[in-house]
Structure 1
Amino acid sequence: MNRWRYFLLALLVLSCVGKHKSDAPKVTVKPTVEHNLEIEADTLVLNLEKSKINWVATEMRGIKIRTGIISFKDGFFLIRNGEIVGGTFIVDMETMDVTDVPLHENIARRNLLNHLKSDDFFNTKHYPLSTLELTSVHRIKNDSLKISGNLTIREVTKNIDFFAHQKGDNFKTIFTFNRLDWNIAYEGSLADKTLVDKEVELTIKIRTE
């Protein structure tokens, strides 16, 4: 009983500390959309060295911030008449890394990464790849796109809507998603359920060649 009293007291104290609250829009999640994979179009290939995914996850309703990066394995846009009409992007989940833990804290970094790569979260051994297949792209303004795509994580596929900005060969989008929608469902004990937040923020930067 004393254990839970101290735990609740700690939550109360920490709730007074500044929290991270993402301003990134939440994706609209829908059932998978069937689309034509054989589109006659030119291919605009991803520059793997200059394209990255930054992620932000939080604990205790934003009090503790976790950050990291993931790399692409492959990717391309489909271009027809100068406009993007589709594309596929493959993410190498084994490249997941953390950036909020200093490099010299080897044990802490290893423990956190092992936890994230385990079946508690992404299970990268069994699900080494995540994919995003664009199902529709609409240009709203010269530099603004509304995109729909089938996002697959842990072999769970759902269609999402999000916005992206284009400047020449550079594309950027930022959004949040609920990890439970893709069975990234680590909950553990009652304390764990309280500690690990459900929303994950992604900042995706793509450079084409």
Structure 2
Amino acid sequence: MRNLFVVALALVVGTASANNVETEKKEVKTEKSTVTWKGYKVTGSHEGTVALKSGYLEFKGDKLTGGEFVVNMTTIGSTDLEGEWKTKLDGHLKSDDFFGVEKHPAATLVFKKVKATGKNAYEVTGELTIKGITNPLTFNISVYGSKATASLKIDRSKYNVKYGSGSFFDNLGDKTIYDEFDLVVDLQF
């Protein structure tokens, strides 16, 4: 009987300590992390980068449980153009036609729910704020050691980024810029 009591007590203590694993914030190394974007139009595409200002991932043990990121929108720029064309596109992306970085120098992503979908794989539901407008966003992220990778599709029309959008303007023809753009995020922490 005494042995049964000892086994039961050990199970209770073991379960309690397993459930009390501390949440740990792991700061992202912004200088080693990359955010690459790709936007599409009827006649082709453009791609570039934007820098993270700050960010962290939260873990409980080795399981991802949360995260929060701030993107420095003033750094948005193209990588597929050079010279005058690059200068023009970069300036246009920073203007009020697109991201209005003078008034909105940062965008944020806050994880609200993280669900494991496999070994090292998670589905994240978060809130993305661009130009002061917040919308829900769901995407997948993979975590391996001190690195994480995510691919996101963003609908710019939800954030009042209207320029060249067929959702807002008629008869654009081959000047149409599609609403969805891609982000590929590679994080080191």
TM-score calculated relative to the size of structure 2: 0.81
**Letter in structure 1 aligned against 2:154:** F
Deviation of residue 194 (structure 1)?
Answer: 4.2
Q: 1:193 to 1:155 in 2, by over 3 A?
A: farther
Q: Aligned to 1:93, which of 73, 76, 97?
A: 73
Unpaired runs of at least 5, structure 1? 1-39
2:50 counterpart residue number: 70
Unpaired runs of at least 5, structure 2? 1-21
Aligned-partner Cα distance in 2 for 1:65–1:53 = 17
Deviation of residue 196 (structure 1)?
Answer: 1.4
**Letter in structure 2 aligned against 1:148:** T
Deviations 1:80-132 (A, max 9, x none): 23322211100000111111103xx2x21111111111000000000000000
Aligned-partner Cα distance in 2 for 1:132–1:97 = 20
**Letter in structure 2 aligned against 1:54:** T
**Letter in structure 2 aligned against 1:199:** E
Aligned to 1:84, the other structure's residue is in SS state strand
Instruction: Give the number of the structure whose alpha-carbon radius of gyration is greater.
Output: 2
Instruction: Tell which has more relative contact order, 1 or 2 (C-alpha 8 A, sep 6+).
Output: 1
Aligned to 1:130, the other structure's residue is in SS state strand
User: RMSD over aligned Cα, in angstroms?
Assistant: 1.7
Aligned-partner Cα distance in 1 for 2:157–2:173 = 14
Runs of 4+ in 1 over 4 A off after TM superposition: none
Q: 1:50 to 1:192 in 2, by over 3 A?
A: farther
TM-score calculated relative to the size of structure 1: 0.74
**Letter in structure 2 aligned against 1:46:** V
Determine which structure has the larger strand proportion and give its number: 2
Deviation of residue 193 (structure 1)?
Answer: 8.0
The percent of aligned pairs where both chains have the same amino acid is 25
